[in-house]
Amino acid sequence: MTFTVTYAERDGGGPAHLRLAGELDMGSAPQLTAVIDRLTDAGERKLLVDLTDLTFCDSTGIAVFVRGDNRAAAAGGWLRVTGATGRVERVLKVTGLSEVLGYPTDPADPSATDRPAMG
């Protein structure tokens, strides 16, 4: 399945919204890295990544999420994921990233530690 990244204009001061579809792996990870780099270079500091249509994510994809969060955090922001299901949700839970990068219960406070389980 072809991997795609779409970007939606953000509302007011909210996060930039990315939507992933397909399979995020060694072959497609550079595409997501490029989008994250382009957005952070343009001044975006808060990135919300919707994984609803992502059907697969390997360790390379996980590394892109961590790198993106580190890059955004260095500028005072964050990268969070939401909407993971199936195998993608399982990978995020097994790696512990659903707790670290999961979008918070209260969208007004992305630094909240009480994050819901993915899915």
Question: What tens digit of pLDDT does each residue of 30-83 get?
Answer: 999 999 999 999 999 999 999 999 999 999 999 999 999 999 999 999 999 999
| Domain carrying residue 48 | 4-101
Residue with tokens 């001044």: 43
Q: What is the pTM of this model?
A: 0.83
Tally DSSP H helices, then E strands, for the chain: 4, 4
Domain-embedded: residue 77: yes
Count up the domains in the chain and report the number: 1
CA distance 37 to 119: 26
43 Cβ contact list (under 8 Å, min separation 6): none
Nearest by Cα to 31 from 14, 45, 16, 18: 18
CA distance 72 to 46: 7
User: Residue 74 is which amino acid?
Assistant: A
pLDDT of residue 14: 85
* Residue 8, both tokens: 């939606």
Domain-embedded: residue 113: no
Domain-embedded: residue 108: no
CATH number at residue 75: 3.30.750.24
